[in-house]
Structure 1
Amino acid sequence: MDVERWRRINNLFHAALDQEPQARDAYLDEACGGDGALREEVQSLLDAHAKPSVVDRPALEADPGLLRHDEGSAHDAPGMQDVAGADDPLIGQSLGPYEVTGLLGRGGMGVVYRGFDTRLGRLVAIKALPPAFGDDAVLRARLRREATSAAALSHPGIATVYALEEFERHLYLVYEYVPGRTLRDTLRDRDALLSIDDVLAIARAIARALAAAHAGGVVHRDLKPENVMHLPDGQTKVVDFGIAWVETNEGERLTRPGEPPGTPGYVAPEILRGEPASPRADQFSFGVVLYELLTGNHPFLGSDGSSTIARILEHEPPAIDPERPDCPRALARIVMTCLAKTPGDRYAATDDLVAALEGAVSPAQAQAEAQAQAPKLPAPDPKPTLRSARWWWQFHQVAVTAVYGLALYPMWRAREWVPDGWGLLVFMAAVAIVFVAINLRLHLWFTSRVYPAQLAEQRRRSAVWKRLADSAFALLTLGTAAGIAPGYPRWAALLIALAISSVLSSRVIEPTTERAAFPSD
């Protein structure tokens, strides 16, 4: 199936979700214009969205803590237009100082109303447990946890929680009413893709909000375009921490056993496998959103919920270049790092993700910056820049690797001259030591080129092993030189030179290049 058809199916799917359930069939008949195959594809997505199986239905429907799109826009993100709710007895009533003026969304976790705070004269969003779950201790505990976790977050990119109120034994979460449109609306209604500058602006705002939440020990677990709001003033806010998971010493979980959190198209593979949530799971969801922002397509979209989950677990996302040839390589690497199947291959911390996004610039921005700087180029700085320093560090790893490989030749020659038949054993020891030293340095070089976010951790873990290998090689070559010196002084001198070079490289040259390349460590 071609990309344009997938895009049309995806748009029709989300548009159908915004319709009243009883009006969806008529809407699809008209929107599909007699294309039976198209209507069948869209209907299969809607059916998968509502299936009762944990695997075949969206996880937001499997988890009572997630809102689903089954009433109007039905998303609980504040700022959405009111959905049909004339039969809701709470509309038009007062909850203490709050006047309930409309229904924003309804889902398994709660009902969200638009309200007015008469004390402070401001619009608010009010989330309440549905009457059917009023006596459910697990769901009430989830709502209390949501208030605790979200209220602890203070960031301009996160919807603010105002209060947790209880009226007539019902809990109500009162939080910031965010006017505007969801990111899903923005993606669906545009005829063309967002510019790289717009994508970067949105991505940086989302990443900063996630970094602030993660710094407070809070994981969103349901990041998707529906949970990102565009305010009229251009600001971006992340909303709906309704299934936010807070790190505790006891590892407390408020979800019921077997209930996966999140929406399947945006859930990290480890969460689908039942592993605990972590900030890196949010990074995966962020990667899916960023991929959609860049290409207009979902990287793992299947024909139904099951195939989407299978693609997330088993398939790599398509390359971005064919869809967005203007996408900077740095930005494409960020997306692919976030979409890594293994959490350890993503960013060590979300702050690293923010830093990577800050360093990524669009071609237009790069050209503008170059033009702005061209008339006032400073005199050449004799000191090496950070980039050149890191190049020298990488060069040092490769150079030492090459020297170690070449050093095996004189050790091979010397094996016949070492007294008492120890020559072969000495050479085999040299091979083992060189193998360790070479592999460690090539590993660091590869990590610096492909997974820079993990380089600091890998350098720390390999530092002791490198020093031990370098020291062992120096001692072995000095001992061999001493054994063959009487009969082969020239070869002994060469081995002594190699030993001295190894010590100088390990104790002087390498520490210097590391300090220059990584001044913040």
Structure 2
Amino acid sequence: MIHPATTSVTQQILLLSGSMGPAPDARQWKRVREILEAALELPADQRATYVRAEAGGDGEILDEVNSLLERVDATATFIDHSPAGAPETASISREMQAGHQLGHYEIVERIGAGGMGVVYLARDGRLDRLAALKVLNARHESDDERRRFAREARAASALTHPNIITIYEFGHAGEIDYIAMEYIRGRTLADLLKQDPPPLAELLEIARQTALALASAHAAGIVHRDLKPANIMITEGGAIKVLDFGIAKVTSTSGEQSTEQNLILGTPTYMAPEVAVGQPADRRADIFALGVILYEMTAKRRPFQGKNAMTTLSQVMNQHPPRVETINPAAPRQLGDLIERCLVKDRNARLGSMEEIAEQLDEIVAPAPRMSRRWLLAGGSAVAAGALTYGVSHWMTANRQPMLRYEIEAQKDPALLPYRAAVTDTFQAGWKFRLRLSADRPGYFYAVTETTAEVAVVYPLSGQPAEPVAATLTGWYVFDQNPGIERIWVVWAEKPQDFLAEPGRAEGAREARVRQLLQELPAGVSGMAGQLIQLRHQ
């Protein structure tokens, strides 16, 4: 096996797809590589003529290069290799005009494209609210790609975090599949970096919030796999939202596996080296991508940028970009060290978690003077002039929510050992589960179940002493015989909450207070944090 640090572009293609025949000898190999790399620089419709002429009648070289080019085309189906700032290309989709009815949604306008689909602004006729509808492109209608599209909805809908876009539903209307999600007014980080980059400290706060969002996804067993500035949105209110879980991967020890383990998915500039050679992605691939984003924020240029997808992948695997301090002398050395640890080629030596990135970014930004709450509010009038881009400030760092984490332990049978489950698993009636809860600072933990009929406090248990802790373990819960989705809110509070302290069903004024809290938690509640866990059972 070839070590990634010495892998050439042509060898990468072989690693990505596998050679179909005997390896060429040294002379042939050199010529194959030369012809292939030159052909990749040409438009696709000119490559065949060029390769035939350059092969000079050598059938083995001609067959090898053509075989590799076929694999490049196959790989390109799953790799997003559009250059930054390139105009949006026309997608092969059912174009829908304003007024078109899709299920109970009325199309307002087309607002963009991302991942596998076109995105429309639509009005929900049932709830009278605006929503963003991602509609599956017609060219992505194979069974595998429909499953990928459905998995995006399932993966993202399983996550409830202030910095992750909210998914309303995955629906079908005739032959059209769509995902309905919250409509966000704002700009992507890609647009921000290209058009109007704010000060570095504010960019690092965006990165910190992004790390918190991905930490929540990783804790739920979900790897994004396509993290890039175009998938990070800064809302008009200054909040950060991670978008587009279109190629997200669900990781679980319960046996659920992706059907696409051998596909190369993602965007080359932000793709981890191990993913580029077909190894399965885990949380460390997202960490590499965030390291690339941090580099781009700090140096105002990308660490890896080739002429095309394959040459970019070659840089990702073979080149070590200069430290950011050599490009931007104002960058703190601690930030340079953090980026270096994110971009390590060997994922086993890479930084281990998004929580660690968030903590280090907090330390880097924290010493800077913080803006007062009064100044932050007054700064709203200066946004257009660039004085306070989207309201991101050090004040937000000083008053941030804690990093709330959870793990799910499930047990199928008393005779079997518990295993770590993912929120996307499907559980069976009679199975048990419990939650391991933790936060980056001590507080008070609560768990609340929610249905349309009732809300009930299921943790802490009766008689349990109320004292601040950094981690705790709930009791075991059993799935009943009624199939459906169990909605469990995990709540952390800086101070004890008397209305959550007593276990059991909440009634009357207490029920109204609990429901109000659950509605407010996604947007943020001072001194509190919460995450919704949704578990499917049958």
Residue type matched to 2:127 in 1? L
In the TM superposition, what is the alpha-carbon distance from 1:182 to its structure 2 partner? 1.0
Q: Check 1:340–1:67 CA distance in 2 against 1; reply closer, same or farther (3 A cut).
A: closer
Pick one of 271, 277, 297 that aligns with 2:301. Answer: 297
Q: Which amino acid aligns with 2:258?
A: R
CA distance in 2, matches of 1:128, 1:238: 19
1:227 partnered with 2:231: yes
Partner of residue 361 from structure 2, selected from 315, 334, 357: 357
1:358–1:261 distance in 2 versus 1, CA, 3 Å: same
Kept after mapping to 2: 8 A contact 1:63/1:259? yes
Give the letter for the 1:145 counterpart.
R
Q: Name the aligned partner's letter for residue 140 of structure 1.
A: R
Alignment correspondent of 1:312? 316
> Which amino acid letter does the alignment assign opposite residue 251 of structure 2?
E
Superposition RMSD in Å = 3.5
Q: CA deviation at 1:169?
A: 3.8
1:247 maps to 251
Q: Percent identity?
A: 36
The answer to whether 1:88 aligns with 2:95 is yes
- Match in the other structure for 1:145: 151
Question: Map of 1:408-419 to 2, 5 A cutoff?
Answer: none
Gaps of 5+ in 2: 1-39, 48-67, 373-538
Letter of the 2:328 counterpart: R
**Which residue, out of 327, 331, 336, partners 2:340?**
336
Equivalent-residue separation in structure 2 for 1:62 and 1:195 (angstroms): 37
Find the residue that maps to 1:360 and give its secondary structure.
helix
Cα displacement (A) at 1:237: 1.1
Deviation of 1:230 (Å): 1.3
Cα distance in 2 between the residues matched to 1:71 and 1:97: 35
Partner of 1:180: 186
Higher relative contact order (CA 8 A, sep 6+): 2
Assess, with a 3 A threshold, how the Cα gap between structure 1 residues 57 and 178 changes in structure 2: closer, same or farther: farther
Check whether the contact 1:62–1:260 (CA below 8 A) recurs between aligned residues: no
Q: TM-score, normalised by structure 2?
A: 0.52
Q: Judging changes above 3 Å, is the alpha-carbon distance between structure 1 residues 72 and 325 closer, same or farther for their aligned structure 2 residues?
A: closer
Paired residue for 1:109?
116
Indicate conservation of the 8 Å contact 2:228/2:270, yes or no.
yes
Gaps of 5+ in 1: 1-43, 76-82, 369-521
* Superposition deviation, residue 259 in structure 1: 2.6
Indicate conservation of the 8 Å contact 1:265/1:300, yes or no: yes
- C-alpha separation in 2, matches of 1:110 and 1:300: 27
The alpha-carbon deviation at position 45 of structure 1 amounts to 8.9
Preserved CA contact (<8 Å) 1:155 1:212: yes
Partner residue of 1:189?
Answer: 195
Shift, 1:322, TM fit: 1.9
Q: Distance in 2 between matches of 1:200 and 1:70?
A: 21
Give the match for residue 169 of structure 2. 163
For residues 13-52 of structure 1, the aligned pairs below 5 Å read none
What's the TM-score once normalised by structure 1's chain length?
A: 0.54
Paired residue secondary structure (2:324): coil
Larger Rg over CA atoms: 1
Code of the aligned partner of 1:63: F
Question: Are the aligned partners of 1:99 and 1:116 in contact in 2 as well (CA < 8 Å)?
Answer: yes
Greater percentage in helix: 1
Q: Distance in 2 between matches of 1:169 and 1:292?
A: 41
TM superposition shift of 1:71? 12
- Return closer, same or farther for 1:324/1:152 CA change in 2, 3 Å cut-off: same
Give 1:96 deviation, angstroms. Answer: 2.2
Given that residues 268 and 284 in structure 1 are in contact (C-alpha distance below 8 angstroms), is that contact kept between their aligned partners in structure 2? yes
SS at 1:104's partner residue?
A: strand
Report the secondary structure of 2:160's partner residue: coil
Deviation by residue 1:334-377 (Cα, 9 ceiling, x = unmatched): 111111101111222222222222222377449x9xxxxxxxxx
CA distance in 2 between partners of 1:87 and 1:208 (Å): 36
Determine which of 272, 287, 291 is the counterpart of 2:276: 272
